[in-house]
Structure 1
Amino acid sequence: MRKSVDEAIARFEHHTFAGLHLEKLHAAEDPNVRTIRIDGGRRGIVLKPETGDVYCLIAVMEHDAAIKYAKSRRFSVNQRLGVLEVRDATALAQVRPALDALARTQPERLFAAYGDGELINLGLDADVLPIVRLLTSEDHLAALESMLPEPQYLALVALASGMTPQEAWEEICRLLPDASPPPAVDTSDLVTAMERSPGDVVFVSGPDELAQMLAHPFDLWRVFLHPAQRRLALRPSYNGAVQVTGGAGTGKTVTALHRARHLAERGSPVLVTTFTTTLADTLDDQLDLLIDDPDVRARIEVVNIDKLSYRIVKDAAGHNPKIAGGAEIQALWNIAISQTETPYSAAFLHREWEQVILAQDLSGREAYLGSTRRGRGKGLSPAQREKAWAAISRFLELLAETGARTHMQIAAEAARVLAAEAAPRYRHIIVDEAQDLYPAQWRILRAAVAPGPDDLFIVGDPHQRIYDHRVSLKSLGITVTGRSHKLKLSYRTTAEILNWAVRLLGVEPVAGLDDRQDSLAGYRSSLHGRRPVVQGFPDRDAELDALVEQVRAWLDAGVEPHAIGIATRFLSAAGRTERALAAAGIGTASLAAGGSAQDSVRVGTMHRMKGLEFRCVAVTGVSADAMPAAVVLTDPDEDPATHADDVQRERCLLFVACTRARDALYVSHTGAPSPFLPTRAR
């Protein structure tokens, strides 16, 4: 499509009469809208102002969709902000009779408290105002989001949320780069309106400049800030900690990165942290792409939370702390259980230790026996707690004898080191994928930055929680009440992929970080594409052969190799996948090694896909014997509630892997499919 757009622009520019290539539409809502042929099946929608030689390519769509879009939209200039607006004039006309009928049955109107003058001062125009007067609920307003001009819709949302007209005005002014509206607006000057819309319109003088802009389209996509995200990222200041949640692809990470740049541009040092090393490396790369000023970039430190805690403890102790490996920890638990004759499994006791004792920084037996066990499924009597403590304390003795510590022990020690220091180390901290951090790690961050304006900017999605813990920010001294925001529009994933992937999550409620249940209600995408492809195969060899064919098809279609991601449930399967692709002459880079070569397809486990995004994604091995993975499931007889949590976490893991895709999703399995897959997709 990019190549076809380049060629169409070239034909358009070099023709002696540019208008020859533009087609006017019969019965269009906007007389300034035209279409242009891109290739055999696609057309571009072009805005042609009445005067001048500036033409704006609005969108490229399949022929019928382009004609429908072009006929229904009308472009205008916001009479107060002076920015370019677009409205679905056809849809607004169609919905008005229904709103009128509903309004006659309701005594209350949503905006009855505001006069016409107040609404006009917020930028509402004569066409929108009569429809606004018919609204009786916020649900009706939300239903109009895709139809109304965005600045006018945002002004109405601000009022509906309880803001005063002045506060609403200040909120919508943030749409402008300098938050300052022009002293006068010419509503007939579309070109000037485009110039005031730098987040939405890019000016190019011809095909060469266009080609340069699109040279690395996927990288630019990953740091592009959409208007809904811009308001959160570039707000001058917040009074305290801020939480931004939203489903996959809603732009939480890019919002966090722009917030980091915004704070650094004010001269303040900023820490950006997350759970995994892979994601930390990706955030580092994206900041390099986003920030040109070396002084600003130097003020932002990116480090994953384990590395941060390790460094704090190392500096305090004067030597490198020794890390206990997984096999060593398992062996010590087995010894402790045998010596104390405790009737609990190693997995149960390890969770009890991490999620209760370390989470609350409990100092000993009495503290544990008297503690609350929030988030733990199985209740324990006092006698049962005594037995659990006997095994846990013995495990800790055995671990201490080795001189090694677990990552969570080091995190707890790092938090104590920071809490004892005279002053916090940081002024601002940005936390990405916040749902994955453990309580001990949150205590590090709370101690590392003083409570106050812009201290913590927290982004995450409880529906993407793939690690075994629960956190209450309030209990850790982090309050986000009144400063929680939700992003609902997915800018990455198509509606077809999104609607399919949401069904992977099942129907279990999900707990948020603010002690409330989190919902994906209203989560949607305005992008459209092909439905996910789900294929079954008799054996692994056949599955790998088909995967190679699919990857080659994506590459032949012009997809950049690094924009293709392949996810597996287990590391061994990722290795087999890399070898199969290499045998076919396709270069790969392992996510586990932090590979980022531009000429390599990225391959890794579902866990390593966390926080990343690709144009095309293949998720393989989604079979009944792998998803859910039996090895991570608690025995339902030992703890049915924890077993249910384990299953839900596996659902979230598959959801995370599938929603890394922007344009295309391919899912495969051998034998029986995973029970998580939607029935119609099997």
Structure 2
Amino acid sequence: MSTEATLRIMNGAHKEMTSLPRQEQGAVYEFMNRFKANHRDPILHVQAAAVDSEMLTARIDGSYRALLLPVGERDYLLAGVKHRDEVADTLARQAFRINRVTGGIEVIDLAQVARGPASEEARPPLFGAYTDDQLLALGIAEPLLPQVRDLSSEEELTGLVGRAPQLTADVLVALAAGTSYDDVYAQITEPVEAEAPVDPDDLTAAVNSPATQVFSDDEALQAVLGQKFEQWQVFLHPTQRKLAEKPTTGPTRVGGGPGTGKTIVALHRVAHLVRQLPAGKDKPILLTTFNRNLAADLRTRLIALGGQELTARVDIVNIDKLAARVVSEAKIGAGKRIVDDNRVPGLWQTFLLEIGEKAWDADFLYAEWTQVILGQVLNSRNEYFRARRPNRGRSLTRGERDQVWQLTEQFTNWLDGQGVWTWRQVAERAARLEMDRAARAAAAAEESSGSLLRHRYRHVVVDEAQDLSAAHWKMLRAMAPVLGDDMFLAGDTHQRIYDNHVTLGSLGINIRGRSSRLTLSYRTTRQILAAALEIMSGEVYDDLNGGEENLAGYRSLLRGTQPTFRAAATWSQELDLVFDQVKEWGCPADGSVAICVPTRELTAAVAARLQQDGVPVTEIGPDGPKGAGGVHIGTMHRFKGLEYQRMIIAGVSHGLIPRQMIDQFASSDPKRYQRERQRDRSLLFVAATRARDELAVFWHGTPSPFLTSRLIQQRLSEEPAAQLGLDRQAL
């Protein structure tokens, strides 16, 4: 039985570590390494903290003890670093609970609030206007509710907030300041609220929740123990600090492969910009990303970095919600229902059938409408005649463009008749509105008219930049004035899994000379990284500005086992391979193992096969896993932004990856064929880089052409493909 263990460090433990003398800090680091290598090492004296406690204690040195919280098999949290004389008092006073709203683990100090001298006149409770259910729905830690109920002065509130979990503190301060209940929910609670029901007893799911701020140590983090970093839970590598804090003369982009810290740099950029702001209560900084889940994660991390004082000056919202807000403010589209993008091609097919149109392909018209007409915010047929159509494949004559324009106008009217519109239409309309606002603001400033009209933001920071459409970029460009430090973009085109190809320069966002690339992965092992890079070999990707980008120098400091690549004759036999692999990993039901496949049909088949043998499964939906435990299963698109200890990628067969349907474009539309093929390759790359420790790849029949002979024959060393130009010495 393996004695190795995973050890992650909670925020409170970090603060305690950095307050220790340097010698004791070194002892803590040595303890962590020893514990990870053998958590049963008798020299550590690991034992139950108390009869009625889930906590364990372990010996760091003669004076200090580690408080450990088991969260899974060989998976632990370092929850505290205490002097041996303080351990008993800490265990009696502190509790660890899973917040029912966020799904994250919270450390709750149950010590009673110090009361001031009794006054002659009884003061009303600060939060008497709210019911228990209302306060709990905002995320107040349930064990603290009785104390919250008794608060009657600012001094008492300050005493509780100083030791309460972050969400509880933020909610109480906002309510006490007079913020309405609905606004507190919308601004503080909703962005961090778990998408799926929370199991208050599932520690494994909770530790992997974005709401739980923990960090895993590795070789690169040893320096942290010798320095007094203000925060450790959002670790910024020293080589990245310059990127986060350097003044810029215009839009700036940071690229890099999965797990290299692009998001962390973006968050520290936001924190740096906030520190430069004059005092105020407005939110002149926008932090946005592609979807709601990622936006919630950004807010959680930003809170960990600087608390409510930092987030109070930042508008954190996903890009479609931002566009919808702009349109709603203009009172446009009232009563219309917005349909998801994945339904729109089907609507095009229905429309073409109804009008009897057979000359044009629904998928082509959908892409032309979204990427060119809506994407470039074209207002007229003449503008469409003159528009560039980058990455659109086949060329169109003037007569064909006229036909396409007429069909898109008819389709728009048809949608109006259905009482619906699409997110792409919302983005296009929002871009128009913001461009008009920017023009009026510029005119007012030039005329010195004294108008109060201004750009919506002073700074715009974007994460997952590769996923945004041209209309999104036009909207964002119009939202901030063209000045230094105006736009900061983090993204990786190798992870582009949506068909949004843009050239930022043509959209008024000039990043030339202001682009940087991160190359050190903190997530996955060298062995998994080597396999992922082999999958990408031979492919050319853009840099969002008309040039090319590669993954040269992308590397990891972490070692692990070689990924597994295995073939089966049939899909049924491949399902057996999947089950055998899950069984070999111990059939964990803690959400640490995931299986991704190319299609929904395969998802259902894998789930049925595992359930047949009693393995619990959880499907990953559009908003993330639908439950906490079990083996997580979903299509490749669902894994964006997720991370698992062990991953299986199944169905990596010819005709599935890449999709067989794109073969029809090989001769009729070679550019589209290349674009679709590249998107499928990126999907496989994203899936492979979700794995932290172990990766298994299976196929039946003929393997995907993306699996090179080096992978199939398992001749891949931990050195990435030579053709990518990686520095082998750096590995």
User: TM-score of the superposition, structure 2-length normalised?
Assistant: 0.60
Aligned to 1:561: 590
- The residue aligned with 2:639 is 609
Aligned to 1:451: 482
| Per-residue Cα deviation, 1:607-636 (whole angstroms, up to 9, x for no partner) | 121233333222122122311123466633
CA shift in 2, pair 1:608/1:38, >3 Å: closer
Deviation, structure 1 residue 576:
4.1
Determine if contact 1:310/1:321 at 8 Å carries over to the other structure: no
Residues 37-93 of structure 1, C-alpha deviations (whole Å, 9 max, x = no match): 9868999xxxxxxxxx999xxxxxxxxxxxxxxxxxxxxxxxxxxxxxxxxxxxxxx
Q: 1:414 maps to what in 2?
A: 430
Opposite residue 270 of structure 1, the aligned amino acid is: I
* Corresponding residue number in structure 2 for 1:391: 407
Q: Is the 8 A contact 1:274 1:280 kept in 2?
A: yes
Counterpart in the other structure of 2:654: 624
- Alpha carbons 2:592, 2:644 under 8 Å: kept: yes
Instruction: Tell me what 1:274 maps to.
Output: 289
Task: Confirm or deny that 1:226 pairs with 2:234.
Answer: no
Q: Who is 1:258 aligned against?
A: 268
CA distance in 1, matches of 2:224, 2:382: 63
CA contact (8 A) 2:262 2:518 kept: yes
1:524 Cα deviation after fit? 2.5
1:78 maps to none
For the pair 1:573 / 2:602, whether they are aligned, the reply is: yes
Query: What is the CA–CA distance in structure 2 between the aligned matches of 1:587 and 1:497, rounded to whole Å?
Result: 24
1:593 shift after superposition: 3.7
Provide, for residues 258-301 of structure 1, a one-character-per-residue CA deviation record: whole Å limited to 9, x for no partner.
Answer: 3233334555653322223343343344445x336223234444
- Provide the rounded CA distance (Å) in 2 between the counterparts of 1:4 and 1:328: 44
2:305 maps to which of 291, 315, 324: 291
Confirm or deny that 1:494 pairs with 2:521.
no
Task: Give how far 1:311 is off.
Answer: 2.4
Say if 2:256 is the partner of 1:240: no
Q: Which residue of 1 aligns with 2:682?
A: 652
CA distance in 1, matches of 2:377, 2:306: 42
Q: What SS does the corresponding residue of 2:241 show, helix, strand or coil?
A: helix
SS at match of 1:669: strand
Residues 101-250 of structure 1: pairs in structure 2 closer than 5 A: 200-202=223-225, 223-233=234-244, 235=245, 237-250=247-260
Greater Cα offset, 534-543 or 454-463:
534-543
- With normalisation by structure 1, the TM-score equals 0.64
Shift in alpha-carbon separation, 1:322–1:675, aligned structure 2, 3 A? same
- Distance (whole Å) between structure 2 residues aligned to residue 543 and residue 477 of structure 1: 49
Equivalent residue, structure 1, for 2:346: 330
Q: Aligned partners of 2:381 and 2:602: how far apart in 1?
A: 43
Letter in 2 for 1:432: D
Kindly provide the CA deviation profile for residues 470-510 of structure 1, in whole angstroms up to 9, marking residues without a partner as x.
21111111122232111122222222222221222242321
- What residue in structure 2 maps to residue 534 of structure 1? 565
Query: Unpaired segments of 5 or more residues in structure 1?
Result: 7-17, 23-34, 44-52, 56-196, 205-219
**CA deviations over 1:379-429 (Å, ceiling 9, x no partner):** 222233233334333323322332322211110101122233332222332
- Distance 1:489-1:517 versus aligned 2 partners, 3 A rule: same
The residue type equivalent to 2:223 in the other structure is D
Give the aligned partner of residue 402 of structure 1. 418
Q: Is 2:477 the counterpart of 1:466? A: no
Q: Residue 294 of structure 2 aligns to which amino acid in structure 1? A: L
Q: In 1, distance between residues paired with 2:609 and 2:662? A: 27
Contact 1:336 1:394 in 2 (8 A): no
Following superposition, the deviation at residue 516 of structure 1 comes to 1.0
For 1:661-672, list aligned pairs within 5 A. Answer: 661-672=691-702
Q: CA deviation at 1:237?
A: 3.2
How many angstroms apart in 1 are the aligned matches of 2:318 and 2:549? Answer: 25
2:359 maps to which of 343, 348, 360: 343
**Structure 1 counterpart of 2:290, one-letter code:** F
Which of 457, 472, 481 is the matching residue for 2:512? 481
Gaps of 5+ in 2: 9-22, 28-32, 42-61, 65-219, 278-282, 438-452, 713-731
Q: What letter corresponds to residue 393 of structure 1 in structure 2?
A: E
Superposed CA offset, 1:513-544 (max 9, x none): 12211122222333332221112234445434
User: 2:5–2:37: 8 Å Cα contact kept in structure 1?
Assistant: no
Q: Deviations for 1:220-248, whole angstroms, at most 9, x for unmatched residues?
A: 99843222223322x15333221001122
Instruction: Please give the per-residue CA displacement for 1:547-594, whole angstroms capped at 9, x wherever unaligned.
Output: 3443454468xx993443332222343344445555634453625343
Q: Distance in 2 between matches of 1:225 and 1:472?
A: 29
Paired residues of 1:582 and 1:588 also in contact (CA < 8 A):
no
CA distance in 2, matches of 1:364, 1:383: 15
**SS of equivalent residue, structure 2 residue 225:** coil
Separation in structure 1 between the aligned mates of residue 509 and residue 250 of structure 2, nearest angstrom:
9
Task: Give the RMSD, CA atoms, in angstroms.
Answer: 3.8
The percent identity for this pair of structures is 38
Q: Secondary structure at the match of 2:665?
A: coil
Instruction: Rate the CA distance shift 1:261–1:612 in 2: closer, same or farther, 3 A.
Output: farther
Question: Compared with structure 1, are the counterparts of its residues 565 and 302 closer, same or farther at alpha carbon in structure 2 (3 Å cutoff)?
Answer: farther
State the shift of 1:340 in Å: 7.4
C-alpha deviation, 1:3, in angstroms: 4.5
Q: Cα gap change, 1:463/1:402 in structure 2, threshold over 3 Å: closer, same or farther? A: same
